[in-house]
Amino acid sequence: MAEYPHILIAGAGIGGLTAATALAQKGSVVDVFEQATQLAEVGAGLQQSANAMHAHRALGIDAEVIKRGFSPHNVVLRDFKAGRPLLRVPLGDAHETRYGAPYVHIHRADLHDILRNAATKAGVTIHLGHSVTGFDQDAQKVTLHCGDKHYTGDALIGADGVRSTIAKQINPRAVEPRFTGQIAWRGIVSTATIPKDTLPPDATAWLGPGRHCVAYYLRGGELINFVAVEERDAWIDEGWSQKGDVKALRQAFAGWDPRLTTLLNACQETFLWGLFDHAASNTTSWGKGRVSLLGDACHPMLPFMAQGAAMAIEDGYVLASEIMRDGPNIDSALRRYEIMRHPRTARIQKRSLDNAAMFHHGPGAAKFLRDAKLKIAQHLPAAQHSQFDWIYGYDATEPFALK
């Protein structure tokens, strides 16, 4: 193997492009294989807390992320009907001062574009229209199969999402995900289509019985992204591409805070996806030999901590760091990466699942207890922040800095 390893990456999403950029910036030859014939991301918002922004800074793209995003002032949890604040957590300067990097909302397509440009500038080759069908490996190399095309390298990274072909070959007996009984609508609304200042410059979440909705600004305030979650018995596919019924969305949240209903009334198109709980796997399910996984391929996240993209970004940076630290020993580098990342991602998976229950307490004692806890948290800001320190205070670039 050459001094700098040749890395194959299946999947040109957020995590795959982060890993590709980090590797290529330090000299690795990187080929990324994407089944889509055009490199474009679906329209949705992402929340990039300080832990993600540290990695962006190390890759030299943080200024562009900030420029093309939106910096919220607070996270505000509100009562579904009256809209009264239940909890307000300062972001803005408070987040940056405490954690060393800002909190930014960004359109997924914009972050994808920034990463694609950074990867290309670093010398990454992106192969479009390449559907991954499997791999073979031996002690010296790994070969990726894309139909009748075959590519050989020193390591293979499966960044090919929740339906990962690479993951299925590594662990064909993986436990099937469990439908949570919740579905989510997502959509984007132009700010110009609703009355000025309908929503404050915050990440706002309305909590109600059996459902909740989160909304926040993108692109400097030009757009508003929302994710509306409802409990349902009927199963809906886990993918993001199923079109939803806007009238059904509005009906589900009828009678809620007028600020929210105004937003939903302006929505012209929405998409549905089913929310599935993926039990945290063990590290042996993440990799084998010269092959490993990152992001949704090994730890899909429910959206209730807004950390799915951030975890894939952290994965990509740590993975690149370990490979570049010990390039000639690919197997051991990948196993170290898996051991490092597994406890953190499993903990955030669990926290996300716990939040699903907290957001949807119905009337009665459960709601009273939840609201009491939030009220106490509001009056104890130090304790309020400290519960997030382990998430936002993590900096993948410090202990695993690329050399």
User: pLDDT tens for residues 74-105?
Assistant: 999 999 999 999 889 899 999 999 999 999 99
In terms of residue numbers, what domain contains 83?
6-175+279-392
CATH number at residue 302: 3.50.50.60
Distance of alpha carbon 360 from alpha carbon 88, whole angstroms: 18
Percent of the chain at pLDDT exceeding 90: 69
Q: Is residue 59 part of a domain?
A: yes
Over range 260-278, report the average pLDDT. 91
pTM, entire model: 0.92
Least confident of 96-100, 174-178, 249-253: 174-178
Q: In what order do the strands lie in the sheet with 287-288?
A: 125-127, 29-33, 6-10, 155-158, 291-293, 287-288
Q: Is residue 136 part of a domain?
A: yes
Q: Is residue 96 part of a domain?
A: yes
Higher pLDDT: 226 or 276? It is 226
Q: Is residue 258 part of a domain?
A: no
Q: Is residue 83 part of a domain?
A: yes
Q: Is residue 267 part of a domain?
A: no
Pure H helices in 69-144: 92-99, 108-122
Q: Are 151 and 144 in contact (CB under 8 A)?
A: yes
Least confident of 127-141, 194-208, 360-374: 360-374
Distance of alpha carbon 25 from alpha carbon 239, whole angstroms: 32
Number of domains in the chain: 1
User: pLDDT tens for residues 104-160?
Assistant: 999 999 999 999 999 999 999 999 999 999 999 999 999 999 999 999 999 999 999
Q: Is residue 399 part of a domain?
A: no
Give the SS3 label for residue 324.
helix
Q: Is residue 227 part of a domain?
A: no
What positions carry a catalytic annotation? 216
